[in-house]
Structure 1
Amino acid sequence: MSYDAVVLVSFGGPEQPADVLPFLANVTRGRGVPPERLAEVAEHYQHFGGVSPINQQCRDLLAAIRADLTAHGIDLPVYWGNRNWHPMLADTVAEMRDDGVRSALAFVTSAYGGYSSCRQYREDIANARAAVGPDAPRIDKLRQFWDHPGFVEPHADAVRAALATLDPARRAGTRLVFTAHSIPTSMAATAGPDGGRYEAQLAETARLVAAAAAPELPYDLVWQSRSGPPQVPWLEPDVNDHLERLAADGVTAVVVSPIGFVSDHLEVVWDLDTEAAETAKRLGLGFARAGTPGTDPRFVAMVRELVVERLDAAGSVNPPDTAARRRLGTLPVWDACPADCCLPAGRR
């Protein structure tokens, strides 16, 4: 199998106030999210002028990937399509078809396994190809990258930088708090012999980042951005509840690191920079939020490495680049997911 393009696949976000509710309707379709919760989330977007940072962050990442591939002699066009807002993935796949692309590699802006973070992207790719028709290019998703140095090292450096902003007198009472998007507990209990891949991979990333950034400090993995019906159990504790408990236990400062994310999009700047920061201030906790990889050169180079891994495997690199599969963790990793991988409970 040879490949003649790369496509960046992301979540998408509104770019003007009129986009907000249609975008949220796309995101939550079929999930039974109460209207009052949608209205609440819509207000978060309106707080920032109805514009999510994520699309500009994708444009910046797209430009960086293109430049990096070109600089390393990899002559592949790079496209961009979203799950939930323009440019919609089906439109991008149609553009790729019209440009003569036959087989492409997809880099998804989610590092982890699980339904929402991996399988749903694969289903969206399949749906986009079906919408385009029999001439749609084949699209193979690149592997998950939760333990790749190009993902872990920028997060670790960001934790170090955040720690440096805190009052040194609070250092002995400082705790690292790693966050990721909460999901229903039924979704977290994924199918397959490895059990809850999402939680396990996040736990490994937290361990790797903590060990690299501040091995002397205790750390926790907690959750943010819950959006489902209140009667449905989701992963806990929520970051704000956790800060309450830490303050009660005598912790004096926290560094909050959103390892579940690759860029500072709205769920980072609202849930952490706004809500969690306000909680910490009320509790008298020192608070610093670590950054995300964004367009860090190591993260951009990681995308190229993942592409080259697959080009090497397909015999498409001439001469062969022989990129090693760089990893820092020990959990299983794979290129192609099994057909029943990460199915939520209701679909197993």
Structure 2
Amino acid sequence: MATRSARTRPARTSRPRRRSTPAPDVGSATPAYDAVLLLGFGGPEGQDDVIPFLRNVTRGRGIPESRLEAVATHYRARGGISPVNEQNRALKSALESELAGRGIDLPVYWGNRNWVPYLGDAVAEAAAAGHTRLLALTTSAYSSYSSCRQYREDLAQAAAHTALAGRVTLDAVRPYFDHPGFVTPFIDGLRTALAALAGRNVATGDTHILFTTHSIPSADAAASGPRDVGWGPGGAYVAQHRAVAEVIMAALPETGRPDWSLAYQSRSGPAGMPWLEPDVNDAITGLAAAGGTAVVVVPLGFISDHMEVIWDLDTEAAATAAARGLAFLRVPTPGLHPAFVAGLVDLLLERIPTGATPVRAALTSLGPWRDVCSPGCCEKAAAHRPV
């Protein structure tokens, strides 16, 4: 656990190397989108919303009510309110300001998969205002069924369920796991965290960097990404996270660069179903047993400090580290970092003709990712498809 990842070592540079390619032709074949859709996961807004929200999230997965009640305590401790809704309101406002600042006249709508405002209502609202060509920004950066393909299925279902199929165009930007706008905030946050530990006389070389992301079923991970690429264990989902972690680590000075590893959090499936491991708490326990001094957690899989970050990391993982005598710091998610907001608008401009040649930026050799998914990409593993 305390050794550097055995995959490709990061380039010996102090700054990530930006890769960019011209975007595909955005001429007449590309619709002139007339609105932006911020597509989120959703979260409860009060105590009465908690269980209905969790039922929405887990519908068809056979999760017992007792498990929902256990998870509900995380929300109830905060008045039943998920921070993700306010974060998305703030992100919507920031996107509107960034678009206006660039002279781009596009309204921004916001809809969720699992709670109000629901995606279908947002699409209907846009259509009622005369906006029928919407380009979606999903609040998830990586490729897997739940983090990419399911959102695209949501878009198709929204059109069908609102009787707008054939009248509205609903597309999504590409997965942006290695876009500079998404990666830069993590680099900034990690540098700040290491400096803070140094101020507490904790040497950088004595610190382990633990990158975390949402665990998913191992079968879904294996099915993630295009089928014509040999991704290795964990499919594109794991490969993308490791590639981005390498870029972030390469941005640190090579001398005394810490060891790092990838761990997973927020597992929610049946006990008998294999999910990606190790769990973040098990990883922290292993670091302590190996004589570790400090751990910096980088929530690489998330764009904002929502409940799974606040509870699973700031509460549970921090408690695990404290119980085992490890210094613990958690790096912020991108949130409203200016680079992230600007990067999201850059992603929109890859697809929206403006007269300028758009650029598709990427920091790893895996990107820039394709706009349109290939057949079979990120399919839900048949054995675990909801019934």
Q: If the TM-score is normalised by the length of the shorter chain, which range does it land in?
A: over 0.9
Q: Equivalent residue for 1:322?
A: 357
Mark the CA change 1:338 to 1:345 in structure 2 (over 3 Å): closer, same or farther.
same
User: 2:202, 2:294 within 8 Å by CA — same for their partners in 1?
Assistant: no
Q: Equivalent residue for 1:96?
A: 126
1: CA distance between counterparts of 2:202 and 2:243? Answer: 30
Q: Equivalent residue for 1:120?
A: 150
SS of alignment partner, residue 223 of structure 2: coil
Mark the CA change 1:100 to 1:321 in structure 2 (over 3 Å): closer, same or farther.
same
2:207 alignment partner AA: T
- Quote how far apart the aligned CAs of 1:136 are: 4.5
> Which structure features the higher share of helix residues?
1
What do residues 218-274 of structure 1 show as CA deviations (whole Å, max 9, x unaligned)? 111100000111011100000000011101111100000101000000000000000
2: CA distance between counterparts of 1:136 and 1:163? Answer: 52
SS of alignment partner, residue 6 of structure 1: strand
1: CA distance between counterparts of 2:302 and 2:344? Answer: 15
2: CA distance between counterparts of 1:218 and 1:260? Answer: 19
What do residues 84-134 of structure 1 show as CA deviations (whole Å, max 9, x unaligned)? 001000000111111111211100010101100000000111111101113
- Quote how far apart the aligned CAs of 1:214 are: 5.6
Does residue 160 (structure 1) correspond to residue 199 (structure 2)? The answer is no
- Quote how far apart the aligned CAs of 1:164 are: 2.2
Q: Equivalent residue for 1:206?
A: 245
User: 1:110, 1:262 within 8 Å by CA — same for their partners in 2?
Assistant: yes
RMSD: 1.4
Q: Equivalent residue for 1:342?
A: 378
Q: Equivalent residue for 2:65?
A: 35
1:246 to 280, 287, 299: 287
2: CA distance between counterparts of 1:310 and 1:154? Answer: 24
Q: Equivalent residue for 1:193?
A: 228
What is the TM-score when the length of structure 2 is the normalising length? 0.86
Q: Equivalent residue for 2:202?
A: 169
1:345 alignment partner AA: A
Structure 1: stretches of 5+ with no match in the other structure: none
SS of alignment partner, residue 228 of structure 1: coil
What do residues 160-195 of structure 1 show as CA deviations (whole Å, max 9, x unaligned)? 112222222343321000000000001111161234
After the TM superposition, which residues 295-306 of structure 1 pair with which residues of structure 2 at under 5 Å, given as runs? 295-306=336-347
Taking CA–CA contacts closer than 8 Å with sequence separation of 6 or more, which of the two structures ends up with the larger relative contact order? 2
Q: Equivalent residue for 1:59?
A: 89
User: 1:20, 1:42 within 8 Å by CA — same for their partners in 2?
Assistant: yes
- Quote how far apart the aligned CAs of 1:37 are: 1.6
User: 1:171, 1:253 within 8 Å by CA — same for their partners in 2?
Assistant: no
SS of alignment partner, residue 264 of structure 2: strand
Q: Equivalent residue for 1:274?
A: 315
- Quote how far apart the aligned CAs of 1:35 are: 2.3
1:271 alignment partner AA: D
1: CA distance between counterparts of 2:271 and 2:64? Answer: 9
Q: Equivalent residue for 2:19?
A: none
